[in-house]
Amino acid sequence: MTSAAARALALAALAALLAPAALAQRFPALEPLDSPIAFFIAEGAPESGFRPGDQELARSALDAWRRAAEGAIELAEAASEEEATLRVRWVPASAGLYGEMRPIRLADGRRGAEVFIRPDVAALGPDVAALAAADPLFRDTIVYLTCVHEIGHALGLVHTDEYDDVMYFFGFGGDIPRFFGRYRERLESRADIARFAGISAGDVEQLRALYPR
């Protein structure tokens, strides 16, 4: 099997995990979060596949949406998880979904959100594990874009059928290797992730409808 074919098979397996049949419908619309948004990014356990730099990937994902909102969203890091409106947690492979967002109600009645990211790329199968071992930025691309997608849901954005969108739903099909590869190709180093949001014009349009300037 060629490396290109192995990559395609690995990413197809990843797509199946990112878009199980139970999520075939578009994500339900939610009201926007109140700004400033207090966020908390937990530290994960090593057995979950968490790496210390993963918190920075989540921060970059949050900042990508903040920049796209052009002043309509403010972020503030909360002192504790209980004080946060938006909470990011890292879960082990046994948790099931690679990425998931769950809306919550805060003590004062406002909407909040919990985001769950599964950072164990190796748990997605031997092909993905091999690709990630050969290319750490490939692994970081998956974790980062999953954070962007799920934080988008936390902000209130829904799935789309537009392939260019980070909020695209894999149930619609499309070239899965290219979906991740087009972002990975922009990176020369890990530091570039903070520069390249991976958010489309369609994503921005949906965001600004929820958070007008």
Residue 109 has pLDDT above 50, yes or no: yes
158: left (phi over 0), alpha (psi -120 to 50) or beta: beta
Note down the domain range covering 74: 3-210
Write the pLDDT tens digit of every residue in 38-82.
999 999 998 888 998 999 999 999 999 999 999 999 999 999 999
Write the pLDDT tens digit of every residue in 116-130.
999 987 766 677 677
Domain count, the chain: 1
Averaged pLDDT, 201-207: 97
CATH number for position 95: 3.40.390.10
Q: What band does 5 get if pLDDT is binned at 50, 70 and 90?
A: very low
Element (H, E) at 181: helix 176-184
Compute CA distances 137 → 37, 55, 100, 183, 196, whole Å. 29, 15, 22, 10, 13
